[in-house]
Structure 1
Amino acid sequence: MPTTVNELTAENGVKVYLVGTAHFSRESQADVIKTIRSVKPNVVMVELCQNRASILSLDEELLMKEASNITFQKISHSVKENGLVQGLLQILLLNLSAHITKQLGMAPGGEFRAAFKEVKTLPGCKIQLGDRPIAVTLQRALGALNWFQRLKLAWCLITSSGSISPEDVEKCKQKDMLEEVLQEMTGEFPALSRVFVQERDIYLAHSLKMASLLSMQDFNKHQNNHSAPTVVGVVGIGHCPGIINVWGTDHNVASLLIIPPPTMVGRFLKLFIRVTFFGCLGYSFYRIARFTHGFIVSNYSYIYHI
């Protein structure tokens, strides 16, 4: 097994092989392929939600083009679907992903596409989407930050333009480098670390347990297809320590799907932004109408005197 694979055992005895990956890594794709071919699982869980499932089947070149091209249409669609603040945050995250895509010449999610292709070669094997919906994660993350922290986060995402190489990506799979990155994130934005990492560790661990139940059911129905009920989980390597840590414990997963209500300050600022926007829009129309009216009146007067 690759060194990035951890073996877990579910309560029902199902073996779970957890593959830790870097999202822009050719080596991670090879690790996923080798693991799936070695254990021949009947369920493969990937760190994706329904809203991001399209990256499993889209062409690599098309994904690279889409990932590296942030258009006004994408921004408008994101704001319309997710609201102003959350939509802009999602665009900033996409912009950071686009920056990495351009530098590495590689579309994100290659390890998930590799897993999906391998699943299609195994009779009866199923793919399971195991991550929490991205919209819930973003709303919980924003709800955990005050407005100063949101502005600081936006500034960090806007100015994140440092260079990165394939070697840097592979280093992120090393334990000491991984711990350093997580500690840096915790120091800057502890609330984000809790929402993006710790909460999703719990959610992904729960998804793996659900996959183990599905695996056992499938094994009981089709024992001739598999020597033993097994699951392969494909997740970002930053989630592996947390998943292993919470594996034998129970958590209230439903509470991780609750979206916090907006604060009084948040509602006021949201209203202020809307009023300002429509006020500026209305004033612009007023200026245009006034100019048009003056132009028509002056030309009518000129024609009348002729």
Structure 2
Amino acid sequence: MASADPFQAPYVVNVDPPGLPKTVTRLTTEFGSFVYLVGTAHFSRESCEDVATTIDLVRPNVVLLELCTARTGVVALDESEMLEEAKTMNLQKLRSNIQAHGFTSGIVSSLLLLLTAHITKELGMAPGGEFRTAYKHACGIAGCRIVCGDRPIQITLTRIIRAMSLWQKCKFGWYLLTCRDPISKEDVEKCKDKDLLQQLLEQFAGEYPEVTEVLVNERDQYLVHSLRKAAQPVHSRLIGGPEPIVVVGVVGMGHVLGIVSNWDKKIDIKSLVSIPKPSVVGRVISVGIKIGFYGLCIYGVYRLGKTWKLI
């Protein structure tokens, strides 16, 4: 196959190469670029194989990962390091999360990390393997760029918190603290079809459309914006003008349908990255119980880590 570097040789796309995994959805842009969307489960070795196969077959110009820049550390660690990292939660990490994301978002981020750690411990498999695989295989292609396409995690967490009432925040925190049922072999098999972590979160989010909107639907639109931007044609000295490119997008399976349904729609990116201001009433009501509530969350994180033997 011709080089993937449009500055070195004309790029000839094999639109439907044989052996392309069934988890791949092909999209096209108005400029003629191709986007191969690989739907993955974050705790699935099969997904890692699908990502590797897709990148090796289509040899893209760009590989886009469903990560934000704050989460790029997931590709730098090897499997054993990531497994240990996901299993270990302590008060120092809690403080670091609070410093990085702010008090409220830091607490929610820590609770999500504990939920991830529980799944990791149950499955014996670290999350993010598909991203590490994508990074490794993309680095083997001359001229291939690797970009992060997800919305910054702090914006997502803040928008989730602002979308919920105080009672919903309490229920959300309690759900994350107590969602630690054993994971069966059947659940492991389901990981091949849908991300297990997202399934657990959607069980809660389904009760509150506002949370589902922020956690899933808004990020679907943000990923569409990122994929379109990544698929912009490049100037080729060989043809003297713009040349379409090929992009491989590595995203969770739960985002594929949303990306496809929003692909041809206009995306209001400014609204997706704005931080809504809390209402005056909400600030007045929450100020009296804020310290006690967050203190309970911190204590809950610490006790939960002890219970799961993660601290």
Q: Shorter chain as normaliser: what TM range?
A: 0.7 to 0.9
Q: Distance in 1 between matches of 2:223 and 2:159?
A: 17
Aligned counterpart in structure 1 of residue 260 of structure 2, from 244, 264, 268: 244
Q: Which has more radius of gyration?
A: 1
Mark the runs of 5 or more structure 1 residues left unpaired by the alignment.
Answer: 278-306
Where 2:64 maps in the other structure, the secondary structure is strand
In 2, are the aligned partners of 1:145 and 1:191 still within 8 Å (CA)? yes
> Which residue matches 1:109?
128
Where 2:182 maps in the other structure, the secondary structure is coil
Identity of aligned residues (%): 47
- Does structure 1 residue 86 correspond to structure 2 residue 102? no
Structure number with the higher helix fraction is 1
In 1, are the aligned partners of 2:42 and 2:128 still within 8 Å (CA)? yes
**Structure 1 residue 271 displacement after superposition:** 4.0
Provide closer, same or farther for how the CA distance between residues 121 and 240 of structure 1 changes in structure 2, counting only shifts above 3 A.
same
- Aligned partner of 1:26: which letter? R
Q: Distance in 1 between matches of 2:292 and 2:183?
A: 39
In the TM superposition, what are the counterparts of 1:125-164 in structure 2 within 5 Å? Answer: 125-164=144-183
Provide closer, same or farther for how the CA distance between residues 273 and 77 of structure 1 changes in structure 2, counting only shifts above 3 A.
farther
Where 2:26 maps in the other structure, the secondary structure is strand
**Structure 1 residue 270 displacement after superposition:** 5.6
Q: TM-score, normalised by structure 2?
A: 0.80
**Structure 1 residue 190 displacement after superposition:** 1.4
CA-based RMSD of the aligned residues comes to: 2.6
In 2, are the aligned partners of 1:63 and 1:107 still within 8 Å (CA)? yes
**Structure 1 residue 118 displacement after superposition:** 0.4
Provide closer, same or farther for how the CA distance between residues 150 and 71 of structure 1 changes in structure 2, counting only shifts above 3 A.
same
**Structure 1 residue 78 displacement after superposition:** 1.5
Provide closer, same or farther for how the CA distance between residues 17 and 166 of structure 1 changes in structure 2, counting only shifts above 3 A.
farther
Provide closer, same or farther for how the CA distance between residues 100 and 209 of structure 1 changes in structure 2, counting only shifts above 3 A.
same
Where 1:13 maps in the other structure, the secondary structure is coil
Between the two proteins, the alignment pairs up a number of residues equal to 270
Provide closer, same or farther for how the CA distance between residues 95 and 76 of structure 1 changes in structure 2, counting only shifts above 3 A.
same
**Structure 1 residue 185 displacement after superposition:** 4.6
- Aligned partner of 1:260: which letter? P
Mark the runs of 5 or more structure 2 residues left unpaired by the alignment.
Answer: 1-19, 294-311
Cα-to-partner distance string for 1:108-140 (whole Å, 9 max, x where unaligned)? 100000000001100000001000000000000
Provide closer, same or farther for how the CA distance between residues 186 and 275 of structure 1 changes in structure 2, counting only shifts above 3 A.
closer
Q: TM-score, normalised by structure 1?
A: 0.81
Aligned counterpart in structure 2 of residue 54 of structure 1, from 73, 76, 89: 73
- Aligned partner of 2:248: which letter? V
